[in-house]
Amino acid sequence: MMKNLLVASTLTVVALAACAPAFTPAPTAVPKPTDPPKNTQALPTATTVSPTAAPIVIAVPKAAKPLNLSASTVFVRDALVNVTQGIQGITINGIVPLGADPHEYEPTPKDVKAVSDSQAVFINGAGFEEVWLGKLIKNAGGSRPIVDLSEGVKLNKIDAQFQSEFDNDPHYWQDPERWQQAVNNAAKGVAALDAGIADAVKKNAEAYIAKIQETDAMIKTEVAKIPADKRVLVTTHDAFSYYAQRYGFKVVGTVIPGPSTASGAATPRNIKALVDKIKPLGVKAIFVEEGVNPKLTEAVAKEAGIGVIEKLYLDTLSDDKGPAATYLDMLRHNTMTIVGALK
C-alpha cells in the first residue's frame, strides 16, 4: 500500500514542477554575508555552525513562493539543509527529533500540522519510515508529495541470520557513496518544486557531494591504520553493515538481534550465544549506540570480558555541541572512535 502511495506522490512532485513559476532575480533580497542562512534558523543541527564544514557559497536565489519541506529523519534533514544552503524562502521541518529512535517514532500533532503545511515530504525510504509514515500522511490529509531519497540506491538485503519486517537494510546513509545518490535525489526533489532555484540547488549538491567524497577518502586513510584482521565490529543493533561493507569491516554480532531497535528483546540465550561467538574472535570492543539504552550492551561486554566504547551515532546525530552535529561530523566521529579502539 505504501509503495503505491509513494509512486503516486512522486508523480505529484513532477506535476508541481511543470507549473512552477519562472524565477525572477531579486537583488534586494540578497543577504549580507554575515546573515545566517534563513532556512537553517530553526534547525538545531545547522551545518553552517560546524567548525569543520565551511559554508557553501553560491549566488543567492530565492524560492518564488515560501517552500515548506518536511524531512523524516535527521539525515534527510541534513541533506536538505545542504542542498538548500543560501537559498531564501525555504523552511525545513525535521520530523524525528535529535536523539529519538526513528525505528519506533510516534508522530505528534505538531508533525501532522507541519506535514500538511509542507509542499513535499522527503524520506529516507528503503522501508525505514514504513511503521509510522503512512499514519502520519493519512492524518495530514491523506496524500502528500513524497520524495524518496533511496530511489536508485543499491540496497542490501537484510542479513539472513535476522528475522525482520524489512526486506532491505534501510541504513544506507552509513555508506557515503550511497548517500551521494540520496543527496542528488533530495536536490532533484527540491528543484522539482521551484524551477527558479533548480540551478542553485544543483550547485549546492555538487559542492556538498565533493565534501562527502573528501570525507570518504579520509575514512579510508584512517581505517587503513587498523590491521585487516582487527576490523571486527560488535554493535548495538544491525545498522552498520553498509559502513562495514565499504571499509572492509566484519560485523560479527549485534546485541539487539536485528536491523531495527524494535527487532526484539535480546534474550539471555541470545546474549550467551553472542558472548560465545565473540570471545574466541579476540574482539577488542563493543560499541554503544547513541539513542539506545546502553545497559544490555554493557552487560554483553562485561560477560565477554571486553571493553565498551562510547559511542557511535548510527540512527541519529548529536546536538551542536556534540561530536556528530552533522552527517559529515558523524562519519568522522564514528571513524575516529572505531580506529581509536581497534588499531
Which stretches of the chain bind Zn ion, using CB under 5 A? 239, 315
Residue 210: CB minimum distance to Zn ion, A:
28
Residue 14: CB minimum distance to Zn ion, A:
31
Residue 237: CB minimum distance to Zn ion, A:
6
Phi-psi region of 305 (alpha: psi -120 to 50; beta: other; left: phi over 0): left
Residue 123 bridge partners (DSSP): 148
CA 335/CA 89 separation, integer angstroms:
36
Residue 103: CB minimum distance to Zn ion, A:
5
Taken in order 19, 24, 26, 27, the sign of the CA dihedral is positive
Residue 260: CB minimum distance to Zn ion, A:
6
Choice between 201 and 256, CB closer to Zn ion: 256
Residue 105: CB minimum distance to Zn ion, A:
11
Residue 179: CB minimum distance to Zn ion, A:
15
Cell digits of residue 231: 576490523
Q: Are 80 and 149 in contact, with CB atoms under 8 Å apart?
A: no
Choice between 104 and 319, CB closer to Zn ion: 104
- In 19-93, where does DSSP find H-type helix? 74-83
Q: Among candidates 55, 69, 154, which has minimal Cα distance to 118?
A: 69
CA atoms within 13 A on the CB side of 156: 20
Residue 44 bridge partners (DSSP): none
Residue 289: CB minimum distance to Zn ion, A:
9
CA 212/CA 234 separation, integer angstroms:
25
Choice between 103 and 211, CB closer to Zn ion: 103
Choice between 208 and 327, CB closer to Zn ion: 327
Cβ burial of 203 (10 Å; 0-12, 13-18, 19+) is middle
Q: Among candidates 158, 155, 154, 178, which has minimal Cα distance to 247?
A: 178
Choice between 101 and 199, CB closer to Zn ion: 101
- In 224-326, where does DSSP find H-type helix? 241-247, 268-278, 295-304
Taken in order 153, 106, 325, 122, the sign of the CA dihedral is positive
Cell numbers 565473540 correspond to: 278
Burial 140-168 (b: 16+ CB within 10 A, else e): beeebbbbbbbbebebbebeeebebebeb
Choice between 194 and 315, CB closer to Zn ion: 315
Choice between 77 and 211, CB closer to Zn ion: 77
Residue 102: CB minimum distance to Zn ion, A:
7
Choice between 37 and 258, CB closer to Zn ion: 258
Choice between 194 and 289, CB closer to Zn ion: 289
Q: Are 300 and 255 in contact, with CB atoms under 8 Å apart?
A: yes
